[in-house]
């Protein structure tokens, strides 16, 4: 260690503002304020930025508000008066960033030219680039006087390709050396005393190596999806109708003055918005643009700009149906195809039987529709034997409440860290999309458990992320979870407890002739089939048809009629379809699924009268549990 570094720095060299938050511009976004306060505190010099990192960000410009990407925002607003700002990614290599300040850009090149040569000769290999940066930082540390030390900010975009997630045993030599170098910078106490900062950017934090992001010397900061106010501000800016001068005051970084806004517009920002449309955005009225912003919850500003461009091509108006379809496609794209929007075609009026459950769901839908979010449950567990219409009930509820409904697609991946990254991305969008109904079919298989299952702990981490989000009461009424399963006994109790999936609704096969007749009518209406006057054909009382079975019978009768050249069904078609139908013989499995649904029920009113009377008897629930255990043992043999 050199003598200079061995000596402790003087108080003048280490002094930092006592209250940095008061010196930050008022317009600073929360995440940037958090970064600045952590930096001012001297606890870290390495930041991992994740989340909505590929969006536009508001910042002051020469004529008022302007927009920049994250790298330009860091260069011009966070490190706006620092001596050297470098940007590196594996695609474009190493370059300097200075916003639109030509003099500042020239000063950076003049300093680096005698040390590194012409920019065209700078290395592109990540290991060589990190070595070059390390030498530059070391030279700054070794300067004799603080006045000669350069302030250096380095931005590493797409950092997941530099230090990817993975076990130590699977890391290549180059990846391991880069990880050690970043950890060395983060842990170096001397770097925290001078103006040196490193910013790693990745959309999914889980794709960066855990050794780095979980280090106490590294700060992880999420860049959020824009809220309603940010979207409205962008809409006003995009229409060019409200651009008041808004030059923020100067900021201070450890004794240095940072200009909050450069004298000219950031390069490439205005064209990035204008390129998405063929005509000026001013042709859209401010009212229309603000209407789009209000309806665009969950969208990034880049996606909102696409919506505004679409409105231009439609004559400056926003068609609600077109907007909904465009919004769905944009959000599915933001989630990288991991969620699927479902367009509900039915309401709760179409449900057969289950009157108590239907009444409860109708009341909850009314509370959501009127904005009484504190009176709505966090989620539902809909269970019952196969074919009882669990998915149909969830979609009917979504149709009645009138809010978007999404299904989670398979977000699991064979690659290390990608499963958690996919789930992280989906949850981030869902938080800003609400109110929304999230349907998870086959929840017992999709959500994992606390137990490690030979997948390096992936299932346990997925379970923890889902359970944490489901239990966050800040999103009560904004994210309504509907877990569907025929085996609720396999679902971890952590997800079924009160405060998560609070309401457990069991579904059963039609209980009597009246319910079966109504089920025939509903399935006929669903499949656009006209039934004859006498709806219910003769059938054995012990046939035990489910709703799915009855739908299959109706479609079979329809096929018979079409084969005979008729559009309308007659009674004979229906009778022949019933007589020829053979239901599944998986009696023990269906019995076990029905018992599991009964035992999970949270309200006795949801049960048919026969089951309600039975479970009310003394010790009957214990006997049902014993029967459940016996069935599981029989079926596992």
5 within some domain: no
C-alpha to C-alpha distances, 2 to 5, 6, 138, 144, 146, nearest whole angstrom: 5, 6, 11, 11, 16
pLDDT recorded at residue 6:
32
Q: Which residue spans within 372-522 are E strands per DSSP?
A: 379-383, 405-408, 436-440, 479-485, 503-506
Question: Considering the chain, what is the average pLDDT of its residues?
Answer: 79
Residues 105/132, Cβ–Cβ less than 8 Å: no
Cis amide linkage into residue 435, ω under 30° from 0: yes
Tell me the mean pLDDT in the region 268-292: 49
- pLDDT at residue 284, rounded to an integer: 65
| Most confident among 307-316, 385-394, 442-451 (mean pLDDT) | 385-394
pLDDT of residue 90: 92
Distance CA 392, CA 353 (A): 13
What is the CB neighbour count within 10 angstroms for residue 226?
Answer: 27
Alpha-carbon dihedral 39, 41, 44, 50, rounded to 10 degrees: -50
Highest mean pLDDT out of 15-19, 60-64, 441-445: 441-445
From 444, 478, 501, give the residue that closes a domain. 501
Can you give the pLDDT at residue 2? 36
In a shared domain, residues 425 and 380: yes
More confident residue, 510 or 1: 510
In a domain, 604, yes or no: yes
Note the pLDDT of residue 241. Answer: 41
Number of C-beta neighbours around residue 483 at 10 A = 29
Helix (H, G, I), strand (E, B) or coil at 561: helix
Which of 74-83, 207-216, 287-296, 383-392 shows the lowest per-residue confidence on average (mean pLDDT)? 287-296
For residue 518, the tally of other CB atoms under 10 A from its CB is: 16
pLDDT computed for residue 238 by the predictor = 79
Q: What percent of the chain has pLDDT over 70?
A: 82
For residue 14, pLDDT over 80 is answered with no
Cα–Cα distance between 357 and 508 in angstroms, integer? 12
Q: Which two tokens stand for residue 90?
A: 């594996």
- Judge whether residue 614 has pLDDT over 70: yes
Same-domain check for residues 293 and 251: no
DSSP one-letter code for 241 = S
Give me the pLDDT at residue 144, please: 75
> Could you tell me if 416 and 371 are in contact, meaning their C-beta atoms sit under 8 angstroms apart?
no
Residue 270's pLDDT is: 29
Co-location of 62 and 188 in the same domain: yes
pLDDT band of 484, cuts 50, 70, 90 = very high
- Please give the pLDDT value at position 622: 92
Question: Same domain, yes or no, for 235 and 280?
Answer: no
Report d(CA 240, CA 134) in Å as an integer.
45
Ramachandran region of residue 489, left (φ > 0), alpha (ψ -120 to 50) or beta? alpha
Q: Is the pLDDT of residue 185 over 80?
A: yes
- Of the listed ranges 123-137, 173-187, 281-295, 423-437, the least confidently predicted one is 281-295
| pLDDT at residue 233 in the model | 87
The verdict on residue 581 lying in a domain is: yes
488-492, 561-565, 600-604 — which is least confidently predicted? 561-565
Read off the pLDDT of each residue in 507-532 and give the average, rounded to a whole number: 80
For residue 505, what are its two tokens? 């609704």
CB atoms near residue 452 (< 10 Å): 12
Written as one string, the DSSP assignment of 270-322 is: HHHHHTT-SS-GGGS-HHHHHHHHHH-TT--HHHHHHHHHHHHHTTS---HHH
Task: Flag whether pLDDT at 13 surpasses 80.
Answer: no
pLDDT of 18 strictly over 70: no
Q: What is the CATH number of the domain that holds 434?
A: 3.40.50.300
Which residues lie closer than 8 Å to 541 by C-beta, 6 or more apart? none
Structural domain that includes position 455: 341-501
138 versus 330: which is more confidently predicted? 138
Split at pLDDT 50, 70, 90, the class of 346 is confident
Higher pLDDT, 605 or 572: 605
My answer on whether 427 and 570 are in the same domain is no
pLDDT for residue 637:
67
Top pLDDT among 34 and 340 is at 34
The SS3 assignment for 498 reads coil
Query: Residue 540 sits in a domain of what CATH number?
Result: 1.10.8.60
Cα(459)–Cα(230) distance, rounded to whole angstroms? 36
Q: Tell me the CATH number at 166.
A: 3.40.50
Region of poorest pLDDT, from 222-236, 294-308, 536-550: 536-550
Check residue 581 and give its pLDDT. Answer: 83
Residue 628 burial (CB < 10 Å; 0-12/13-18/19+)? middle
For residues 304 and 370, membership in a common domain is answered with: no
Residues 161 and 29 in one domain: yes
Would you tell me how many other CB atoms lie within 10 Å of the CB of residue 486? Answer: 23
Whether residue 270 lies inside any domain: the answer is: no
Between residues 233 and 343, the one the model is more confident about: 233
CA distance 151 to 139: 12
* Mean local confidence (pLDDT), 193-203: 92
pLDDT at 250 over 60: no
Q: Which residues, including other chains, have CB under 8 Å from residue 372's CB and lie 6 or more apart? A: 477
Are residues 307 and 198 part of one domain? no
**451: which residues sit within 8 A by CB, 6+ positions away?**
459, 460
| Interval 13-39 mean pLDDT | 71
CA atoms of 396 and 344, how far apart (whole Å): 7
Q: Does 439 share its domain with 470?
A: yes
Asked whether the predicted pLDDT for residue 452 surpasses 70, the reply is: no
| Per-residue pLDDT at 43 exceeds 80 | yes
pLDDT greater at residue 542 or residue 361: 361
Q: 7 lies in a domain?
A: no
Residue 601: the pLDDT is 93
Determine the 3-state secondary structure of 175 from DSSP: helix
Residue 310 forms part of a structural domain: yes
Q: What's the average model confidence in pLDDT over 68-92?
A: 92
Q: Is residue 373 domain-shared with residue 248, that is, in the same domain?
A: no
Overall number of domains in the chain: 4
Instruction: Choose the final residue of a domain: 334, 363, 382.
Output: 334
* pLDDT tens per residue across span 254-265: 333 333 333 332
Phi, psi angles (nearest 5°) of residue 290: -70, -35
Same domain, 209 and 323: no
User: In terms of domains, do 421 and 536 share one?
Assistant: no
* Domain limit, last residue, from 501, 532, 553: 501
Q: Is residue 268 part of a domain?
A: no
pLDDT band for 249, please (50, 70, 90 cuts): very low
Q: Is residue 175 part of a domain?
A: yes
């Amino acid at each position: 260690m050199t003598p200079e570094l061995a000596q402790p720095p003087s108080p003048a060299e280490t002094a930092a503002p006592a209250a940095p938050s008061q010196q930050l511009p008022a317009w600073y976004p929360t995440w940037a304020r958090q970064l600045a306060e952590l930096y001012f505190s001297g606890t870290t010099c390495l930041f991992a930025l994740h989340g909505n990192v590929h969006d536009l960000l508001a910042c002051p410009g020469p004529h008022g508000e302007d927009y920049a990407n994250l790298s330009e925002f860091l260069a011009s607003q966070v490190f706006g008066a620092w001596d050297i700002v470098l940007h590196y990614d594996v695609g474009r290599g190493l370059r300097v960033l200075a916003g639109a300040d030509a003099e500042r850009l020239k000063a950076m090149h003049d300093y680096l030219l005698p040390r590194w040569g012409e920019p065209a000769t700078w290395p592109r290999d990540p290991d060589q680039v990190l070595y070059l940066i390390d030498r530059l930082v070391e030279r700054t540390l070794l300067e004799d006087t603080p006045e000669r030390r350069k302030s250096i900010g380095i931005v590493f975009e797409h950092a997941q390709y530099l230090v990817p997630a993975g076990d130590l045993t699977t890391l290549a030599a180059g990846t391991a050396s880069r990880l050690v170098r970043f950890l060395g910078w983060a842990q170096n106490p001397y770097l925290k005393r001078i103006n040196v900062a490193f910013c790693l950017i990745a959309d999914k934090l889980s794709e960066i190596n855990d050794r780095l992001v979980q280090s106490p010397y590294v700060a992880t900061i999420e860049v959020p999806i824009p809220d309603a106010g940010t979207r409205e501000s962008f809409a006003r800016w995009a229409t060019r109708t409200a651009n008041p001068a808004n030059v923020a005051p100067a900021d201070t970084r450890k004794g240095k003055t940072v200009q909050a806004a450069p004298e000219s517009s950031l390069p490439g920002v205005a064209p990035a918005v204008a390129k998405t449309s063929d005509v000026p955005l001013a042709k859209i009225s401010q009212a229309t643009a603000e209407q789009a912003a209000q309806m665009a919850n969950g969208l990034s500003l880049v996606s909102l700009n696409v919506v505004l461009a679409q409105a231009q091509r439609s004559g400056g108006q926003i068609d609600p149906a077109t907007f909904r379809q465009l919004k769905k496609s944009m959000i599915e794209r933001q989630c990288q195809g991991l969620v699927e929007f479902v367009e509900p075609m039915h309401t709760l009026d179409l449900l057969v039987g289950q009157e108590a459950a239907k009444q409860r769901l109708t009341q909850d839908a009314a509370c959501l529709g009127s904005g009484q979010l504190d009176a709505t449950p966090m989620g539902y567990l809909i269970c019952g034997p196969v074919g009882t219409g669990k998915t149909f009930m969830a979609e009917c509820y979504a149709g009645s409440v009138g809010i978007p409904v999404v299904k989670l697609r398979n977000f699991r991946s064979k690659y290390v860290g990608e499963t958690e990254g996919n789930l992280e991305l989906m949850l981030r969008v869902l938080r800003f999309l609400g109110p929304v109904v999230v349907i998870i079919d086959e929840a017992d298989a999709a959500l994992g458990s606390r137990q490690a299952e030979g997948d390096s702990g992936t299932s346990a981490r997925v379970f923890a992320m889902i359970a944490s989000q489901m239990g966050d009461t800040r999103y009560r009424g904004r994210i309504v979870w509907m877990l569907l399963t025929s085996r609720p006994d396999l679902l971890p109790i952590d997800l079924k407890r009160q405060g998560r999936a609070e309401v457990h609704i069991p579904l059963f096969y039609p209980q009597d002739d009246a319910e079966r007749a109504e089920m025939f009518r509903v399935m006929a209406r669903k499949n656009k089939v006209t039934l004859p006057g006498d709806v219910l054909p003769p059938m054995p009382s012990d046939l035990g048809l489910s709703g799915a079975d009855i739908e299959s019978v109706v479609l079979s009768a329809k096929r018979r009629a079409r084969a005979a050249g008729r559009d309308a069904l007659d009674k004979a078609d229906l009778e022949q379809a019933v007589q020829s139908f053979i239901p599944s013989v998986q009696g023990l499995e269906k019995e076990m699924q029905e018992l599991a649904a009964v035992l999970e029920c949270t309200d006795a009113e949801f049960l048919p009268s026969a089951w309600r009377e039975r479970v009310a008897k003394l010790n009957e629930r214990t006997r049902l549990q014993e029967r459940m255990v016996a069935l599981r043992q029989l079926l596992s043999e």
